[in-house]
Amino acid sequence: MTRLLFSLILFSGLVWSYPGKAEISIEITKGVEIAIPLAVVPFGWEQPHQLTVDVADVIQADLSRSGFFKVLPERDMLTQPSATEQVRFRNWQALGQDYLVIGKVTPAMNKYQVQFQLFDVYKGEQLMGYRMDVTQSELRSAAHHISDMVLEKLTGKKGVFNSRIAYVTTHKQRTGKRRYQLKVADADGFQPKTIAESSEPIMSPGWSPDGKQLVYVSFERRRAAIYLQTLASGKREKLTGYKGINGAPAFSPDGKKLALTLSRDGSPDIYVLDLRTRKLQRITRNYAIDTEPSWSPDGNHIIFTSDRGGKPQIYSIPSTGGRATRLTFSGDYNAGAHYSKDGSQVVMVHANRGDYRIALMDVKTGAINVLTGGRLDESPSFAPNDTMILFAARQGGRSVLSAVSVDGSMQQHLVFDQGEIREPAWAPAL
């Protein structure tokens, strides 16, 4: 039985059970060959009590897990300056540091003023300085924003530290039953918030283009249905609940439509739902299994997974319907495809002889580049800047969220001490 058929069995109610989530740790499994030496000094703080967020600690973690930097441990620092006049560049040169980040947090009315400076240690000059006023609840976001600025300044690459992810997890209750939860968290796994929960499975979360809504599948009352939920208000709306399969919802680039998989007319096919009029249009008509639709960036085409050629492969079809074109030919299995934001690449799950890995296909040439080495990698999702791919994997029996750079040079895991998580989705840039 192929993984595609197995996924459809999941939609029918025979769902893989998996335990819940606990604390998260981050492991860098692969980084650039020559990481940049950089020190992030603990930020100065004028009040006697402790802040709820250690801003410098968050920045250190962000830049470390990027794979681009070798961050100096705090215990090895000779001094801890928080202002320009306190910096002694010779101290940092002696420690072999190329760059230095200092800063401080100052109370400002009902907010906090967070400021930082980035220095070139060997040139002895400031490269960047920035100040922002934030509430206490925004301190972690401010730290991620600083990390993004430092990364872009020193590497030329836009950061995604100040972004969000969605994922599904479960936990086992005392009664022995499982509770399924749809969560949204920072890109580093911190500050998780439960968006929806149920005693029946939840799966296939997808973000609206503005990042304000999530669409997902829930098996409440033991029947698959697609729901739309607004994050700010918590308002939830049931979109489809036809007999059989209601699955794999995906927003159009303009946020006005959903592509989805339904079996209401027989075999599983791709449909498009107009969110304003609720008009439903059937896009594919085939006796095979058509599923996992995803839109092209211009909204003119939908790519999807189909076994109409004998094995699961990726196909493309005009978003208004028409003739489907096969896109993938190498490998025993290609599924779960998504376009990059610029439309030049497609990420997918690619398999040969039972090893399921994350791969990129060049749209122009059709060449496929395998990025990961796991045996059960799944659910790939592009970062907002197209430089990283989030996916689910299994490592040594543990359940992890993983991210890999599009060139395969960097990889990291977010490891949950207990339980498993599935179907991660990276939110659009805010």
- Whichever domain contains 82, its CATH number is 3.40.50.10070
For residue 175, is pLDDT > 90?
no
Q: What is the pLDDT of residue 177?
A: 83
Q: Among 8-17, 180-189, 259-268, which is the least confidently predicted range?
A: 8-17
Query: Per-residue pLDDT averaged across 307-335, rounded?
Result: 95
| Claim to verify: residue 296 and residue 377 sit in the same structural domain | yes
Report the candidate in 302, 292, 400, 387 with the shortest Cα–Cα distance to residue 348. 292
Residue 93: what pLDDT?
97
Structural domain including 142 reads 34-155
Strands 99-108 and 290-295 turn out to be unpaired
Tell whether 170 and 121 lie within a shared domain.
Answer: no
- Alpha-carbon distance of 147 to 71, in angstroms, equals 12
CATH code of the domain covering residue 370: 2.120.10.30
Total number of domains in the chain: 2
Interatomic CA distance for residues 183 and 421, integer angstroms: 10
In this structure, are 85 and 11 located in the same domain? no
Is residue 8 located within the same domain as residue 53? Answer: no
Note whether 147 and 184 are same-domain residues.
Answer: no
- pLDDT for 48 equals 58
> pLDDT at residue 399 above 80?
no
Which of the pair, 129 or 12, is modelled with greater confidence? 129
Q: Are residues 323 and 396 in the same domain?
A: yes
Please indicate whether residue 419 or residue 151 has the higher confidence score (pLDDT): 151
Taking only the tens place, the pLDDT of each residue in 34-76 is 789 999 999 998 775 677 899 999 999 999 888 889 999 999 9
Task: Pick the more confident residue, 218 or 354.
Answer: 218
For residue 410, the model assigns a pLDDT of 82
More confident: 190 or 322 = 322
| % pLDDT > 90, the chain | 70
Mean pLDDT (whole number) for 84-104: 97
Torsions phi, psi of 168, nearest 5? -115, 135
Given 88, 123, 155, the domain boundary residue is 155
For residues 212 and 72, state if they share a domain: no
Closest CA to 218 of 246, 192, 195: 246
Looking at the fold, whether 135 and 221 belong to one and the same domain comes out as: no
Q: Is the pLDDT higher at 30 or at 227?
A: 227
Whether 216 and 75 share a structural domain: no
Task: Output the average pLDDT for the chain.
Answer: 88
State whether 167 and 131 are in the same domain. Answer: no
Looking at the structure, tell me whether residues 349 and 366 fall in a common domain.
yes
Of 155, 179, 198, at which residue does a domain stop? 155
Side chain identity at residue 327, one-letter code: L
The CA dihedral of 71, 73, 79, 85, to the nearest 10 degrees, is: 20
- Could you tell me the pLDDT band of residue 418, with boundaries at 50, 70 and 90? low
Weakest mean pLDDT among 310-314, 373-377, 419-423: 419-423
